């Protein structure tokens, strides 16, 4: 079967019928079969499930719920007569079930061997028994990758269980026959602690409710006593194991309380039951507390004082029939053949005798037909026998009635309920009743009643649960917390863990793939930088560890001038980095064909370039003294497009000085009031919203306007920011003296905060720095606004610059977004030793090579190949990004040309 997210449920038996239970579950290429029984009303091949409709070599496992013939008798035929052994499937049942199943199948093989339609030989049966894997209740069994199950107590008979099956994460509860009522020796069925997706449940009694246990026990013993008083014989047809033990416990206790019955024998007509009684005594620990308590007091409840086995002599049936009144429990319960059928034919003509049917009777059997009390019936020899014996029905069947079944179904809370093991009428009535109940409770639960060979297909949403382990599980997550880590999938289970825990929990290791691409170009280095600035807004320029001139794009990709007219692109492979590499490669290979390149280099000239004459791309990030004004103008233009006129508010110098003094008195943690800082004012009707240009927070007395401005501001920040401002990672390139860094022309002087290892850059969407708190847009960062072109603004800016040098923030012309890294040392304070000078770098005009002193090298590896990838064990260096640029324009007189 294809690996689909659809569960297929096919009934090979027990679909709208009782008997030959066999349910096939198929999901994501896995196949599980639950039960394999025969139909008691038929014989030979006709009694088997529809086994020809399944390729048994594809079955991963067969689960048998209990030892009754209608659930387990076809197992030997399937394992020995089909291609089941050609596959890797296994058979599972509980320890008590396997012990009793062996005796049941021996008796079944012995009785069927005398007929011409025997399904298998005793040797086949022995071979099948050997292949069965016994399991314990509550034991988690992993069958194969993707399939596991756990048995739970089901009541019904000794060893009976229901299976909670997990197939590729889909949970299915298959109940088999179960009882929710604790009787004299068995526990009641359990409610599994895990909610399944699908419940496959029996519907034997439909909407019929059984009488209470005390009432039916009293009615049963009174009826037996009355038949004996009138001088008759009592016939109790029952299966050798299961309800027979329950009836024997009831009768033995009643006989103890009534001495007048001590001379009335109770016979148990089953050699099989005699053999299996040792099994019952062995598995006392699986029974209820009443039996375990008696056994602990050396009172074995299965050693009966008033019950004996029938004589082993030939013709014992006639001797008992002609003798004094007695009670006989005889198998089988359906009276098709065997001792129960022979005794019934002998006792039927006598009105003093009585027949009490104590269990569920399948349609088509004599027990079911005789419940209608016909005047006569046909014997095994074909003769007509009159019926005068009294017929009564008192159900001790260990099946759930409507009250118990409906309560269990609702408690399980499965999304889909599949009804099986019930006649069509009973099943339909139960479906209608449960549908009505769910409708009243406004619950969307689907109830299905598939027929035999009718495949039911159930689709489920692809929801999966990942378990967080290791470091991620040390601290319990709180609502709205975001967990990030590696998602490891194995056998349809998912685990979320920290990359550092990968080796400890999975045995796996990680590596970094470094990719390189060599490009031959016919344009100059400055023209390449000009195009990169236009695309990404800003690039860092410097040297790698080998002294090769390098530009770093968006902090993750290096463009190196390895030779004249040859560039090497190098990056660490990842989904996002590969996209950046693709775009960079496409940009560089198209430079010589770009009309902008032709226009820029069409007029050759040879004179010295000063920093004021550097060709700045119109789309590059604004730099220099006017950068802050440009940023504010772009932001204001975006806001004006949405709200109309936007006013810029600059506080007076006296107000700013007073505000700074208040901040210093408060320990620098204040931040001042909104009206004391540079801001933009948005007016709409009579409502006003103020945008603080330092914190990028919005304040307004009008809540709706505040939320609207926050939303537009969020879009504006994304729109006016370049790619490099929105993507921050990597280690900055070592700056080179005489080499323009990052395109920040005219920025010869860097604030001391740059040496404080502050992380510089606009909010990084990759690192989730753009968070919202209480409706405030953008991140918890501070944007320092540059000069605004008036005297007051210049004084204000100068004061901010001096204060920024003390606090370690990048201020002034950089107009950058700053997030301090508190884990690194701050710059030396006044009176301390001076910080180490920035690395120096010189360029050789002839060779284009550079020499650096004290430059921090990049962790890069050179390659001579055109395109190659390198892997190395993954390291996790501490990364920081920097917007500060410490270089100046090259003054070597190099001219820009287009080379064919």
319 vs 344: CA distance, rounded Å: 14
Residue 225 annotated as catalytic? no
621 vs 747: CA distance, rounded Å: 13
SS3 785: coil
Strands (E) located in 582-715: 646-649, 679-684, 687-692, 698-700
For the chain, helix (H) and strand (E) counts, in that order, are 22, 40
Residues in Cβ contact with 15 at an 8 Å cutoff, skipping those fewer than 6 apart: 420, 450, 451, 452, 453, 454
CA angle at 202 for the pair 192 and 212, rounded to the nearest 5°: 85
Cis peptide before 702 (omega within 30 of 0): no
Cα-Cα-Cα-Cα torsion 656, 660, 661, 664, nearest 10 degrees, comes to 180
Of 187, 190, 185, the residue nearest 241 (C-alpha)? 185
Instruction: Characterize the bridge pairing of strands 327-330 and 170-174.
Output: unpaired
Structure tokens at 668: 């620098």
C-alpha 123, offset from chain centre: 46
C-alpha 843, offset from chain centre: 58
Residues in Cβ contact with 749 at an 8 Å cutoff, skipping those fewer than 6 apart: none
| Strands laid side by side in the 782-783 sheet | 759-760, 817-819, 782-783
Structure tokens at 448: 């299905």
Residues in Cβ contact with 684 at an 8 Å cutoff, skipping those fewer than 6 apart: 643, 644, 705
SS3 566: strand
SS3 631: helix
**Residue 552: burial class (beta carbons within 10 Å; 0-12, 13-18, 19+):** buried
Computed from CA positions of residues 340, 341, 346, 347, in that sequence, does the dihedral angle turn out positive or negative?
A: positive
Catalytic residue among 39, 71, 233, 399: 399
238 vs 38: CA distance, rounded Å: 18
- Residues marked active site are found at 399
């Amino acid at each position: 079967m294809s690996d689909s997210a659809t569960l297929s449920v096919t009934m090979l038996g027990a679909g709208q019928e009782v008997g030959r239970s066999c349910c096939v579950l198929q999901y994501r290429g896995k196949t599980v079969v639950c039960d394999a029984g025969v139909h008691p009303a038929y014989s030979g091949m006709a009694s088997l499930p529809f086994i020809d409709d399944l390729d048994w070599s594809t079955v991963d496992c067969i689960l048998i719920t209990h030892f009754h013939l209608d659930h387990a008798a076809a197992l030997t035929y399937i394992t020995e007569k089909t291609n089941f052994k050609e596959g890797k499937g296994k058979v599972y049942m509980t320890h008590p079930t396997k012990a009793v199943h062996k005796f049941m199948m021996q008796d079944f093989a012995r009785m069927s061997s005398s007929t011409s339609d025997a399904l298998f030989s005793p040797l086949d049966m022995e071979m099948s028994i050997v292949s069965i894997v016994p399991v314990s209740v509550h034991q988690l069994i992993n069958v194969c990758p993707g399939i596991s199950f756990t048995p739970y107590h089901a009541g019904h008979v000794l060893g009976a269980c229901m299976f909670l099956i997990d197939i590729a994460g889909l949970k299915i509860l298959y109940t088999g026959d179960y009882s929710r009522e604790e009787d004299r020796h068995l526990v009641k069925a359990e409610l599994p602690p895990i909610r399944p997706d699908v419940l496959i449940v029996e519907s034997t009694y439909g909407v019929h409710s059984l009488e209470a246990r005390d009432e039916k026990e009293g009615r049963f013993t009174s009826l037996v006593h009355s038949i004996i008083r009138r001088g008759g014989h009592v016939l109790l047809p029952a299966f050798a194991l299961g309800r027979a033990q329950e009836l024997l416990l009831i009768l033995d206790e009643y006989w103890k309380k009534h001495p007048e019955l001590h001379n009335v024998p109770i016979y148990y007509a089953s050699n099989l039951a005699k053999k299996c009684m040792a099994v019952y005594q062995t598995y006392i620990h699986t029974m209820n507390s009443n039996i375990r308590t008696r056994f602990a007091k050396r009172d074995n409840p299965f050693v009966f004082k008033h019950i004996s086995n029938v004589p082993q002599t030939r013709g014992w049936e006639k001797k008992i029939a002609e003798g004094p009144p007695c009670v006989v429990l005889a198998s089988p319960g359906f009276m098709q053949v065997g001792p129960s059928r022979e005794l019934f034919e002998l006792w039927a003509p006598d009105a003093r005798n009585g027949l009490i049917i104590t269990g569920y009777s399948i349609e088509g059997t004599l027990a079911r037909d005789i419940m209608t009390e016909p005047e006569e019936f046909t014997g095994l020899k074909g003769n007509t026998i009159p019926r005068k014996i009294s017929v009564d029905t008192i159900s001790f069947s260990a099946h759930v009635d409507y009250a118990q079944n409906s309560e269990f179904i609702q408690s399980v809370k499965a999304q889909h309920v599949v009804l099986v093991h019930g006649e069509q009428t009973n099943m339909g009535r139960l479906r209608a009743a449960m549908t009505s109940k769910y409708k009243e409770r406004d619950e969307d639960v689907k109830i299905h009643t598939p027929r035999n060979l009718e495949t039911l297909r159930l689709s489920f949403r692809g929801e999966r649960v990942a378990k967080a382990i290791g470091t991620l599980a040390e601290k319990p997550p709180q609502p709205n917390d975001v967990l990030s880590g590696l998602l490891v999938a194995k056998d349809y289970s998912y685990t979320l863990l920290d990359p550092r825990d990968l080796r400890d929990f999975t045995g796996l290791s990680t590596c970094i793939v470094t990719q390189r691409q060599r490009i031959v170009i016919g344009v100059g280095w400055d023209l390449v930088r000009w195009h990169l600035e236009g695309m990404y807004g800003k690039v860092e320029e410097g040297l790698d560890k080998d002294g090769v001139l390098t530009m770093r794009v968006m902090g993750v990709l290096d463009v190196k001038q390895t030779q004249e007219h040859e560039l090497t692109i190098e990056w660490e492979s990842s989904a996002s980095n590969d996209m950046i590499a693709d775009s960079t490669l496409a940009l560089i290979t198209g430079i010589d064909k770009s009309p902008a390149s032709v226009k820029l280099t069409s007029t050759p000239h040879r004179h010295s370039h000063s920093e004021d004459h550097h060709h700045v791309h119109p789309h590059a990030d604004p730099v220099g003294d006017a950068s802050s004004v440009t940023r504010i103008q772009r932001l204001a233009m975006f806001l004006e497009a949405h709200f109309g006129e936007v006013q810029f508010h600059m506080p007076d110098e006296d107000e700013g000085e007073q505000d700074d003094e208040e901040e210093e008195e408060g320990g620098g943690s204040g931040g001042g009031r909104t009206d004391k800082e540079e801001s933009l004012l948005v007016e709409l009707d009579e409502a006003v919203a103020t945008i603080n240009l330092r914190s990028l927070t919005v304040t307004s007395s009008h809540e709706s306007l505040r939320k609207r401005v926050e939303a537009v501001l969020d879009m504006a920040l994304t729109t006016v920011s370049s790619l490099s401002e929105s993507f921050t990672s990597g280690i900055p390139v070592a700056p080179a003296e005489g080499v323009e860094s990052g395109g920040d022309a005219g920025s010869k002087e860097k604030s001391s905060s740059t040496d404080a290892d502050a992380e510089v850059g606009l909010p990084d969407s990759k690192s989730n720095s753009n968070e919202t708190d209480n409706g405030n847009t953008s991140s918890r960062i501070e944007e320092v606004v540059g000069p605004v072109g008036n005297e007051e603004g210049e004084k204000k800016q100068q004061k901010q610059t001096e204060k920024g040098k003390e606090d370690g923030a990048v201020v002034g012309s950089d107009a950058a977004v700053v997030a301090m890294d508190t884990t690194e040392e701050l710059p030396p304070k006044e009176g301390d030793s001076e910080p180490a000078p920035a690395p120096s770098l010189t360029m050789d005009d002839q060779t284009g090579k550079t020499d650096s002193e004290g430059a921090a090298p990049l962790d890069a590896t050179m390659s001579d190949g055109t395109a190659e990838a390198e892997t190395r064990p993954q390291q996790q260096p501490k990364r920081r990004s920097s917007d500060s640029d410490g270089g100046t324009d090259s003054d070597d007189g190099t001219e820009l040309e287009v080379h064919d």
